[in-house]
Structure formats: C-alpha cells, structure tokens
Amino acid sequence: MTRVLVMMSGGVDSSVAAALLAEQGHDVTGVTLKLWGGESDSGCCSVADVEDARRVAAQLDLPHYVFNFTDDFTQHVVAPYVDAYANGRTPNPCIECNRTMKFGRVLERAALLGYDAVATGHHARIVATGDGPRLARGADVAKDQSYVLYMLGRSELARALLPVGELTKADVRTHASRLGLRTAAKPESMDVCFITRGGREQFLSTRTERTPGDIVATDGRVLGRHDGIESFTVGQRRGVGVALGERSYVTDINAPLATVTLGRREDLLRDRVALRDASWVNGPPASGTRVLVQCRAHGDVIAASIVDDVVLFATPQPRVSPGQAVVAYDGDVVLGGGIAV
C-alpha cells in the first residue's frame, strides 16, 4: 500500500484525485496549501477553498492538513512575477508555483513525513517508457495541463501521481456527483490566484515603481505616452491607448528606456525563439530534432525543430512574449522546454 499526500485545492479535480486514490486502496492524506495571505477572489487560496477541501476530505474519511508556505510563495512566485512585469516580460506564475511549491516544497515535506508519493488534480498523465517515467498530455485535450508541468524531471515524476489525467472533465464531474462531493459542480478557477479579477495593474503598482514612457511605432515615431510598461505584453492588441487607424499590436517592450513599440501583425512574426533555463527530461534533444511546441497554456501546437535551446518554427509565428514558457513535445509526450527570451 502506497502512502500518498494529495494536494487538495478545494476544486473538483483534486477532490476526485483523492477519492480515486482512496478507492484504489492507497493510504491517502489530504493537504491544502496556504500560499497567499493577501486579497484574492479566485484561485485556491481563499478561506472557502480551504473549507471545501477540508469537508471533502471529511466526506472521504481522509486526514486533512494545511501547509503554510506563504513566505516561500511570496519569495519564489510573487516576487519574480512582479520583477518580470517591471522588466517587460510576461510571466506564468502557475509554472513557478508548480516548480517551487507543489513539486518543490511539498515533495520535500512529503519525504520528511514518510510519504511515498504526492498527487494533484492536474489533467496530465505520467507514462512509463524505456527511459523511465515521462509526462504526457491528459486524456481531455481541452483541459490538458502538461504545459504547466513541463519542468518535472525523472525524480519528480517517479514520486508523483496524476489520477485524473486519464479522465475527461465530464468524467471527473460524474465521479464527483456519484460520490456526492460538494465540489461536483464548483466552477473552475481561471485567474492568477493572488490577484483579484482585473486587478493586475493595481497589484503591481503597490509593489513596483511605475515609469511612464513613450509609445512608438516600428520606425521610431512617437505615438503617445503610457503610465508604465507593466500594463503591456508582447502581442497585446487591445487597451494600448493609441488609435492608429489600423489593427496594431505590441511588438516590443524596452524596459531600460520604458518604451512600448506598436506595429502590424506581420511585424510580430518570427522564425525562431531562444530559450533560457531550459529543462529537458531526458537531456537536450539532438540538434535538429523535429518537435511540436506549445507557447501558451492553451495555445496551438506548432511544428518546429530545436538547435541548441533555440526553437526554429516550421513557419513564422507571432513573437512569443518574453517570460512565457515554450514546451516541446514528441507526439503527446513532453520532452521539456524553457522560458522565451
């Protein structure tokens, strides 16, 4: 019998993950992470979410605990998020939370407490291969979350369980209804868990000094002014504050000069993207390896090849926002990825 620590966020996916593991005969303990002490109206850090997780665990007759990692979360997720926007990048805090909290601090705590594995409600699968366990897309392509778990290596995958990865979202809700779980019809959380809806600019303004600057055209003409680069991301079309008479996009953000460049869609097109902090499950792919890449959490799959941590697109693509993850796949199996420069 395997001792499993299940991260229960208070949502339906993690509730069903815990239930399925218990039904399979594992020795299951639920744990909810207290990550954010500030204002939030979404995500998995509210008092209501903790209570939902506790009550589901009680329904399933499982022990339940709360781990307080607020200081670690602020240091490893919130602070880098603020720093990224202040430097013209567009971060993905869910990836950093998975990297440093769920499959970082929780794995460490689980080992200290004698658990054999940790589990989450992510829609992704862990598959056995001749090279060891590998991460793969979930059965429900529309809900697949392998992109935000791309950094998991062999050691993490060997100690992780993803019970709902073989199910569709409809299957998950059916299981929850069958068991009468209070989370069966609970809506999904779609926003950054530590920011209120629509409150990103206000959140950033209290944590970093905003520097006004120019909005310029690709030829250098000054088109207007902005209140701070934190309001922009590469590829953005709406809310740029300047009317050009034609559809325009943010094509570049120069943090040292505090300038935001606008251009046409064709000005965004690139044939490659360089990666930093690359992480490959089975070592870097051989130069020229053909892959499929995904550049956003729910983005399209793009044919490409990899040469020395540079992704070469088969056809030009809109520029990947610096700070976003680029994840490479062999079919449905994750090879790894990195952060766009």
pLDDT in tens, the chain (341 residues): 799 999 999 999 999 999 999 999 999 999 999 999 766 545 556 778 999 999 999 999 999 999 999 999 999 999 999 999 999 999 999 999 999 999 999 999 999 999 999 999 999 999 999 889 999 999 999 999 999 999 999 999 999 999 999 999 999 999 999 999 999 999 987 778 898 877 898 999 999 998 899 999 999 999 999 999 999 999 999 988 887 778 999 999 999 999 999 999 999 999 999 999 999 999 999 999 999 999 999 889 999 999 999 999 999 999 999 999 999 999 999 999 999 99
User: Is 193 a residue of the active site?
Assistant: yes
Pairing of strands 269-280, 310-318: antiparallel
Residues with Cβ within 8 Å of 46's Cβ and at least 6 positions away in sequence, in order, are 10, 40
Domain ranges of the chain: 3-179, 209-263, 269-340
Whole-model pTM: value is 0.95
Please give the class, per CATH, of domain 209-263.
Answer: mainly beta
Quote the CA–CA distance of 46 and 34 in Å, as a whole number. Answer: 9
- Indicate which residue of 44, 45, 94, 193 is catalytic: 193
Fold agreement (3-179, 269-340):
no
Write the burial class of residue 61 (CB in 10 Å: 0-12 exposed, 13-18 middle, 19+ buried). Answer: exposed
Q: Which runs of consecutive H residues, i.e. helices, occur in the chain?
A: 12-23, 47-59, 70-73, 79-86, 93-97, 106-112, 154-157, 169-179, 200-205, 265-268
Tell me if 11 sits within 8 A of 44, measured CB to CB: yes
Topology of the domain covering 3-179: Rossmann fold (3.40.50)
Question: In this predicted model, what pLDDT tens digit does every residue of 30-65 receive, in sequence order?
Answer: 999 999 976 654 555 677 899 999 999 999 999 999
- Indicate which residue of 44, 45, 94, 97 is catalytic: 97
Question: Look-up: residue for tokens 């934190």?
Answer: 230
Task: Say which CATH architecture domain 269-340 belongs to.
Answer: Beta Barrel (2.40)
